[in-house]
Structure 1
Amino acid sequence: MTDRPLTLMAVHAHPDDEATGTGGVLARYAAEGIRTVLVTCTDGGCGDGPGGAKPGDPGHDPAAVALIRRQELEASRDVLKISDLEMLDYADSGMMGWPSNDAPGSFWQTPVEEGAARLAELMRHYRPDVVVTYDENGFYGHPDHIQAHRITMAALEMTALTPKVYWTTMPRSGMRRFGEIMREFHPDMPEPDPAEAAAMAEIGLPDDEITTWVDTTAFSGQKFDALAAHASQGENIFFLKMGKERFGELMGMETFVRVKDPTGAAVPENDLFAGLR
């Protein structure tokens, strides 16, 4: 036996991703006495500026945006009771196809081996029992999410560690419910064109392909408050308008695909630490 605490490491792309994707498990496992480590890969500088200004708009200063987002991330960390926060501080690459994808120093332009080596050092230091990140498409094709996936999987290969490894996902049934609630709050929202509708239908996974369903409903209030800490970002406003009760109904279950497992725990499972305790 060892006195080292069980440890969860979540590798995310931007400030606020920790809240939307894994806020529930971070809060739940912290409450259970598990050490929670958040690695945020970019500075978030391509996020919204004051008044919703986008990169390239008047009034958008990436350095100022990054500073605000760091402060918001610290507030979110406090809400979720995250034990340790590590920032890799690569420049935010922006959405796929933006000019910022090609900027020197952006995360998307960083060699995978370089980012992976830095992350591997953190893994050796914290020795996580569970690692969570995105799938190979970054869930929805964001370059920084894809890069976070790449450096995480490469970092694991660089270490002698054998944690359970999970990729975040959403069940297709949950995505349909999300669409219904969006229309409830935005009845004038135009119908997507056929190509957009087809692309949206492919987001997430069929329910029977999800290996791990973690009920974090009891912590959905913390997850909501963590997201509220990132209120500078316009895409978060929709969730906040729901209120905590509706938010908990939609976002209380967090789902994953298990891709590495040294324990032999049966699936489907309802605990990222199944087989470890």
Structure 2
Amino acid sequence: MNDRPLTLMAVHAHPDDEATGTGGVLAQYAAEGIRTVLVTCTDGGCGDGPGGVKPGDPGHDPAAVALIRRQELKASCEILNVSHLETLDYADSGMMGWPTNDAPESFWQTPVEVGAARLAELLHRYQPDVVVTYDENGFYGHPDHIQTHRITMAALAMTTLTPKVYWTTAPHSMMRRFEQAIREFGTDEPASDATPTAGAAETVDDTATAEDTATVEIGLPDEEITTWVDTTAFAGQKLDALAAHASQGDNIFFLRMGKERFTDLMGVETFLRVRDTTGAATPENDLFAGLR
């Protein structure tokens, strides 16, 4: 008899990504007694430093930023009741085109097979029934998100495990609502790794050109979304988890709105199912459909 608990593994790039894209499902499934495992691939060292100092500016210390963000990540996991946190601690690569992309120790420069082998060890250890990560474009073109996708899919190929596999996404109808919210809350600030949705409205980052952003496609047509999980009952936890990443508050657009509006915008989390052995019909409203 197999007494191993049902397990969800979410593989993310930076501290705070766990809350933005999957905070609802992590909290909801934890409340249902499902084991939740978060793997965070980078140290977040390209985030804002104390006082809002930006990467590359005088006084920005990536090591100090990483230490702060590790503590914030732990706090977020406590709020979401994540069962197990695993950190790979690769150096944050920064936004696409930043000089940090080329640092030898950056995640972007890490050979895929090296990162995948480490993640494959965690897959063997936890034997997840469901794995969630990003699509080939990392949802919005961030190098660490793209690399996270690559090592996750490569790690799965290194094992004989057959979990359901999902990529985070957003329906185009939701992206239009995000654009409206961005206009409503009056922000012209560029997106950071904590604000993946802002790319649909203006630019993906402050180094991107119009030509760059025109090629970045975010989300999918509504009819192509396979999985819609209503996590509105856990939106408060999700917002609190985002707020735990206080050092990045300038970059987290969602913290500028109240709980009611946040729940309206972020209460449903959507995914594209890319691997399945259960035969569960789509569209589905449960990542564990066909498993229980």
TM-score range relative to shorter protein: over 0.9
2:230 matched to which residue of 1?
Answer: 215
Q: Tell whether 2:278 aligns with 1:263.
A: yes
2:244 matched to which residue of 1?
Answer: 229
How far residue 184 of structure 1 moved from its aligned partner, in angstroms, is 1.1
1:66 matched to which residue of 2?
Answer: 66
Is the 8 Å Cα contact of residues 141 and 216 (structure 2) preserved in structure 1?
no
1:147 matched to which residue of 2?
Answer: 147
CA distance, structure 2, for counterparts of residue 254 and residue 262 of structure 1: 22
CA distance, structure 1, for counterparts of residue 177 and residue 251 of structure 2: 17
How far residue 106 of structure 1 moved from its aligned partner, in angstroms, is 0.5
Alignment of 1:166-181 (within 5 A): 166-181=166-181
How far residue 201 of structure 1 moved from its aligned partner, in angstroms, is 8.3
How far residue 51 of structure 1 moved from its aligned partner, in angstroms, is 2.2
CA distance, structure 2, for counterparts of residue 237 and residue 263 of structure 1: 37
Is the 8 Å Cα contact of residues 45 and 63 (structure 1) preserved in structure 2?
yes
Evaluate the alpha carbon distance shift between residue 202 and residue 162 of structure 1 in structure 2; reply closer, same or farther with a 3 A threshold: same
Amino acid across the alignment from 1:52: G
2:261 matched to which residue of 1?
Answer: 246
2:55 matched to which residue of 1?
Answer: 55
Q: Which moved more, 1:181-190 or 1:120-129?
A: 181-190
Is the 8 Å Cα contact of residues 243 and 249 (structure 2) preserved in structure 1?
no
Q: Tell whether 2:32 aligns with 1:17.
A: no
CA distance, structure 2, for counterparts of residue 238 and residue 8 of structure 1: 27
Encode CA deviations 1:219-245: one digit per residue, 9 max, x unaligned.
000000000000211454421120111
How far residue 197 of structure 1 moved from its aligned partner, in angstroms, is 11
CA distance, structure 2, for counterparts of residue 68 and residue 184 of structure 1: 31
2:113 matched to which residue of 1?
Answer: 113
CA distance, structure 1, for counterparts of residue 189 and residue 146 of structure 2: 29
CA distance, structure 2, for counterparts of residue 67 and residue 197 of structure 1: 32
Is the 8 Å Cα contact of residues 227 and 236 (structure 1) preserved in structure 2?
no
Q: What stretches of structure 1 of length at least 5 have no aligned partner?
A: none
Is the 8 Å Cα contact of residues 228 and 240 (structure 1) preserved in structure 2?
yes
2:32 matched to which residue of 1?
Answer: 32
Alignment of 1:128-207 (within 5 A): 128-186=128-186, 192=202, 195=210, 199=214, 202-207=217-222
How far residue 29 of structure 1 moved from its aligned partner, in angstroms, is 0.2
Q: What stretches of structure 2 of length at least 5 have no aligned partner?
A: 191-200, 204-208
| Secondary structure in structure 2 of the residue aligned to 1:232 | helix
Is the 8 Å Cα contact of residues 92 and 106 (structure 2) preserved in structure 1?
yes
Runs ≥4 residues deviating over 2 A: 187-202, 234-238
Normalising by structure 1, report the TM-score.
Answer: 0.95
How far residue 169 of structure 1 moved from its aligned partner, in angstroms, is 0.3
How far residue 196 of structure 1 moved from its aligned partner, in angstroms, is 7.3
How far residue 135 of structure 1 moved from its aligned partner, in angstroms, is 0.1
Amino acid across the alignment from 2:41: C
Encode CA deviations 1:136-174: one digit per residue, 9 max, x unaligned.
000000000000000000000000100000000011110
RMSD of aligned alpha carbons: 2.0
Amino acid across the alignment from 1:131: V
Amino acid across the alignment from 1:259: V
How far residue 200 of structure 1 moved from its aligned partner, in angstroms, is 8.8
How far residue 189 of structure 1 moved from its aligned partner, in angstroms, is 8.2
CA distance, structure 2, for counterparts of residue 114 and residue 143 of structure 1: 17
| Secondary structure in structure 1 of the residue aligned to 2:135 | coil
Encode CA deviations 1:184-226: one digit per residue, 9 max, x unaligned.
1107889959947973983111100100000000000000000
Encode CA deviations 1:102-135: one digit per residue, 9 max, x unaligned.
1011100000000000000000000000000000
Is the 8 Å Cα contact of residues 50 and 59 (structure 1) preserved in structure 2?
no
Is the 8 Å Cα contact of residues 52 and 250 (structure 2) preserved in structure 1?
no
2:198 matched to which residue of 1?
Answer: none
